[in-house]
Amino acid sequence: DSGVTQTPKHLITATGQRVTLRCSPRSGDLSVYWYQQSLDQGLQFLIQYYNGEERAKGNILERFSAQQFPDLHSELNLSSLELGDSALYFCASSVSGSSYEQYFGPGTRLTVT
C-alpha cells in the first residue's frame, strides 16, 4: 500500500458524459501527478500539481482538466468523453515538486461505452 488513495476504483459511463476522478496523496506529500495508461498508448503523463499550483503539463487533452485543493487532494475532470478515453488513470504523489520518487495510487479504471 503506497498511501495514495484514488476513488472510484471503477467507473462506467457513456460517451459525451463528464466524470471526476479523485486522488488523496500520501500524508506530507505536496505534489500530485496524473497519468493515463491504455493498451495502445502505454503510460502517458498528463499533469503535475505542486502545493496547489500547476507545475508541469504533459499530453493532457483540452477536454480534461485538473486541480489541487488546499487540503492537497486532487481531482481530474474528464468531459465530452469518447470511447478512446477508456483507460486506467493513475495518480501519484511525491514529497516535493522535484522529488524523483513518486508513489502511485491503485488507479481508477474508466470504461466509456
Partner 1 sequence: GQNIDQPTEMTATEGAIVQINCTYQTSGFNGLFWYQQHAGEAPTFLSYNVLDGLEEKGRFSSFLSRSKGYSYLLLKELQMKDSASYLCAVRDYGQNFVFGPGTRLSVLP
Instruction: Work out whether 105 is an interface residue with partner 1 (CB under 8 A).
Output: yes
When the beta carbons of 14 and 28 are compared against partner 1, the nearer one is 28
The residue with cell 505536496 is: 30
Site for partner 1 in 45-104 (CB under 8 A): 45, 48, 55-58, 90, 100-104
Nearest alpha carbon to residue 33 among 52, 46, 17: 46
Whether 55 and 97 have beta carbons less than 8 Å apart is answered as yes
When the beta carbons of 25 and 105 are compared against partner 1, the nearer one is 105
Residue 103 to residue 3: CA distance in whole angstroms: 8
The residues of the shown chain that bind partner 1, judged by CB under 8 A, are: 2, 33, 42-45, 48, 55-58, 90, 100-107
